[in-house]
Structure 1
Amino acid sequence: MDKEEHSVIYIIDDSEEEEEEVVEEVIEIKDDDVECSAESTLTVYKHEVKNKLEKIGAHLSSDVVENKTRMQSYIKSVVKDCNRNIREHWKVHQEEMREFKIEYTEQIITVFKQWDSDIMQVEDEENEINGIFNHQQKTFQQTRMLQADSLKTLKQADDEFLKTWEDLEKNYSNVLNSIHNEFQKQKTLLQRKITDG
């Protein structure tokens, strides 16, 4: 008895509900039951492949549209969130800037007030120092004038003292000369008395 020949046809089924799931179905065909030539098998296989490719193409096209729609929605959502975050950050930034301006203005006003107070205090101290300096200058001038007068008086007194001293020396010299002369006269008289006596 001749050995029976079998032809095997693989059919791949992709369902739209279950992606990437491959179902393989093996069909055995006996040559004595059905006459199947290589050409008919190839024709069936081509037809099946064509159908499957069309289904895959339609499925891919649907997936691309769905992914595109989902991506557009996601991008819109991200842009919306970004805009909201930017607005919130800008709002916070504006509030911080407003507070900073208020604080800075208050500090500047305080500094200027302190500056005005310091300037007034310096002016008062300067006026006081100028008053003290003027008073000291007047006192110094008066003291100098008094010293000049005192020196003048002292010089006059010294001149008078020297003149008086010179006069006294002259008088003393004259007195000494007179006394000496008188003494010599008395001495001479005494010698004469002694000699005559």
Structure 2
Amino acid sequence: MLPSGRKHSGKPGKISMEDQLLRAFDFGKEDRKHLSGPEEDVTHAKTPAVDKLGKKRTSAGLLKDMGGEVQSMLQKIGVDISSSLLAKKKRLVMYTKASLKTSNQKIEHIWKTQQDLRQKLSQEFSQQFLTLFQQWERDVQKAEEQEEKLTSMDDLEKNQDILLTGAQNELKKEMALLQKQIMMDTVSYDSKH
């Protein structure tokens, strides 16, 4: 597809394809001046063209020659387009590779940063867990000590209950003996008086 407007390739001394096509199909004003007759007749007339050797050519021959030139220009355009597409394809491949490399580097950096962060969090959690576990062990040890103290106290309380019961029984026996003695003393006093 040819762009509208003239295209300059930027290479000196080389005529663009569009200029070549315009020259091939357009008679310039200078060419029209030296032709005889009105301008309308000249542009639409089917006059034989004269080639460089001075031979007359028919319009069919002229079209055949122009067709060959057009064909060669189209082939050059095809080569130019192919080389341009190949260069663009190479640039696209290079850009894609560079983009993938940059993306991979960014992903690796993010992965490493996250991995370092996970490792740091894991260490902090492990330290907190270790501290908590050590505190739990101390609490368990204190609880065991308290339990031992409670069992000693239970034993003491049972011993005290046993001793108290024994003391009460002794006291009851002594009281009963004293009462007996007092009764006997009272009976013997009454009998003497």
Q: TM-score range by the shorter chain?
A: 0.5 to 0.7
5+ residue gaps, structure 1, are 1-15, 25-53
Q: What is the Cα deviation at residue 17 of structure 1?
A: 7.1
Give the number of the structure with larger relative contact order, counting CA–CA contacts within 8 Å between residues 6 or more apart.
1
Relative to structure 1, is the Cα distance of residues 154 and 89 closer, same or farther in structure 2, using a 3 angstrom cutoff?
Answer: same
2:129 is the counterpart of 1:126: yes
Q: In the alignment, which of 129, 139, 147 is matched to residue 142 of structure 2?
A: 139
TM, length-normalised to structure 2: 0.63
Relative to structure 1, is the Cα distance of residues 23 and 173 closer, same or farther in structure 2, using a 3 angstrom cutoff?
Answer: same
Partner of 2:95: 92
Amino acid corresponding to residue 21 of structure 1 in structure 2: H
Specify the SS of the correspondent of 2:44: coil
More strand as a share of residues = 1
Q: What is the Cα deviation at residue 149 of structure 1?
A: 1.0
Q: Aligned residues, how many? A: 146
Q: What is the Cα deviation at residue 168 of structure 1?
A: 1.4
Q: What is the Cα deviation at residue 164 of structure 1?
A: 0.8
Partner of 1:163: 166
Alignment of 1:97-112 (within 5 A): 97-112=100-115
Relative to structure 1, is the Cα distance of residues 81 and 62 closer, same or farther in structure 2, using a 3 angstrom cutoff?
Answer: same
Partner of 2:35: none
Relative to structure 1, is the Cα distance of residues 21 and 184 closer, same or farther in structure 2, using a 3 angstrom cutoff?
Answer: farther
TM, length-normalised to structure 1: 0.62
Relative to structure 1, is the Cα distance of residues 152 and 65 closer, same or farther in structure 2, using a 3 angstrom cutoff?
Answer: same
Relative to structure 1, is the Cα distance of residues 185 and 20 closer, same or farther in structure 2, using a 3 angstrom cutoff?
Answer: farther
Relative to structure 1, is the Cα distance of residues 57 and 150 closer, same or farther in structure 2, using a 3 angstrom cutoff?
Answer: same
For residues 23-55 of structure 1, the C-alpha deviation after alignment (integer angstroms, 9 at most, x for no partner) is: 69xxxxxxxxxxxxxxxxxxxxxxxxxxxxx82
Structure of greater Rg: 1
Q: In the alignment, which of 74, 78, 83 is matched to residue 75 of structure 1?
A: 78
5+ residue gaps, structure 2, are 1-24, 28-41, 48-56
